[in-house]
Amino acid sequence: MEREQTTRDSADIVIVGTGHGGAQAAIALRQQGHQGSILMIGRDTAPPYERPPLSKEYLAGDKGFERIMIRPEKFWAEKDIDLRLGSGVVEIDPAAHLLTLSNGGTIGYRKLIWSGGGDPRRLGCTGANLKGVFYVRDKRDADAMMAALDAGSTRALVIGGGYIGLEAAAVLRKLGSEVTLVEMQDRVLARVAGEDLSRFYEEEHRRQGVDIRLHTAVNEILGEDGKVSGVVLDNDETVPCDMVVVGIGIVPAVAPLIAAGAAGSNGVDVDFCCRTTLDDIYAIGDCAAHANPYAGNAVIRLESVQNAHDMANTVAKAIMGDKHDYEALPWFWSNQYDLKLQTAGLSLGYDDTVLRGDPQDRKFTVAYLKEGRPIAFDCVGTMKDYVQGRKMLEAGTERVDRDLLADPEIPIKELI
What is the reported pLDDT for 47? Answer: 96
- Between strands 243-246 and 155-159, the pairing is parallel
Whether residue 274 is predicted with pLDDT greater than 80 in this model: the reply is yes
Q: Are 146 and 163 in contact (CB under 8 A)?
A: no
**pLDDT by residue (tens digit) across 350-377?**
999 999 999 999 999 999 999 999 999 9
What's the 3-state SS for the chain?
CCCCCCCCEEEEEEEECCCHHHHHHHHHHHHCCCCCCEEEEECCCCCCECCHHHHCHHHHCCCCHHHHECCCHHHHHHCCEEEEECCCEEEEECCCCEEEECCCCEEEEEEEEECCCEEECCCCCECCCCECEEECCCHHHHHHHHHHHHCCCCEEEEECCCHHHHHHHHHHHHCCCEEEEECCCCCCCCCCCCHHHHHHHHHHHHHCCCEEECCCCEEEEEEECCEEEEEEECCCCEEECCEEEECCCEEECCHHHHHCCCCCCCCEECCCCCECCCCCEEECHHHEEEEEHHHCCEEECCCCHHHHHHHHHHHHHHHCCCCCCCCCCCEEEEEECCEEEEEEECCCCCCEEEEEEEHHHCEEEEEEEECCEEEEEEEECCHHHHHHHHHHHHHCCCCCCHHHHCCCCCCHHHHC
What is the reported pLDDT for 7? Answer: 41
CB atoms within 10 A of CB 140: 13
Mean pLDDT, all residues of the chain: 95
What is the reported pLDDT for 5? Answer: 37
- Angle 195-207/163-174 helices, nearest 10 degrees? 20
Supply the pTM of this predicted model: 0.94
Identify the band that residue 237 occupies on the pLDDT scale cut at 50, 70 and 90: very high
**pLDDT by residue (tens digit) across 104-129?**
899 999 999 999 999 999 999 999 99
**pLDDT by residue (tens digit) across 10-41?**
999 999 999 999 999 999 999 999 999 999 99
**pLDDT by residue (tens digit) across 321-352?**
999 999 999 999 999 999 999 999 999 999 99
Identify the band that residue 8 occupies on the pLDDT scale cut at 50, 70 and 90: very low
Q: Residues 11, 281, 302, CA angle at the centre, nearest 5°?
A: 120
